[in-house]
Amino acid sequence: MKKKLLILILLVIVMGVVLGFIYKKETAYKKTDAYKFKVEYESLNGKDTGYNNNTYRTVKIDKNNKIIYSTAGEIVKKIEKNETFAVYFGFSKCPWCRSMIENLVELSNSYDCDVYYVDVLDIRDKIEYIDGEKVITKGDEDYMKLLDLMGDVLDEYIVTDSEGNEYDTNEKRIYAPNVVTVIQGKATKKVEGISEELTDPYMDLTDEMIKESKKQLECIFKCLEETGVCTKKGAC
């Protein structure tokens, strides 16, 4: 009887240790950028966007994703230090971003490559033309610095007014999504990771769209692989 009781006590102790370890590990994980990013994007799955009866695309983010939260200011400093890295500009409510984010995460894991993430939703400047007059809402100071530092690879900021007239603002723009390769402090390549066939961000993704998205995004990681920053898993 005593022997059975002793065994039972030992089992309880072992189970307590195991559960404690699991709890500690899970608690630590919930403090990581990987967890934060997964929750940020998956929490919108299937919810109403409040626009034309559309719902947010359902995405599944790997729990061990290699996304690192950053700010425009931190990216500026990395560039000024001549670092080599990839940065993703986007935001979780961006429907275009949600069409390519799973591919970005998959490739970053495949190449064992960190990707810095800057949420651009509220930091960009906004330019409007009202009755032909240019109206500017100032953006974050560090965002404006990034326009200068990455200008060689960024697209022009084109604005369309309420009557359909287009205006060239004579400024560059970081659109969402933009994924940029920076090599030794110089922006060398920018891709959106969106297939030309995807004309509506709420469309169902076909195999061809996904393939084209991956093809664009893989260019980013291949560039970094050449510098030695990333290495594709399983490569010789």
CB 96 within 8 A of CB 194: yes
Residues of the chain with pLDDT > 70, as a percent, come to: 88
Average pLDDT over residues 23-37: 83
- Please name the fold of domain 32-227: Glutaredoxin (3.40.30)
Which one is predicted more confidently, 7 or 144?
Answer: 144
Average pLDDT over residues 188-202: 97
Beta bridge partners of 87: 116, 180
Rg (CA), the chain: 22
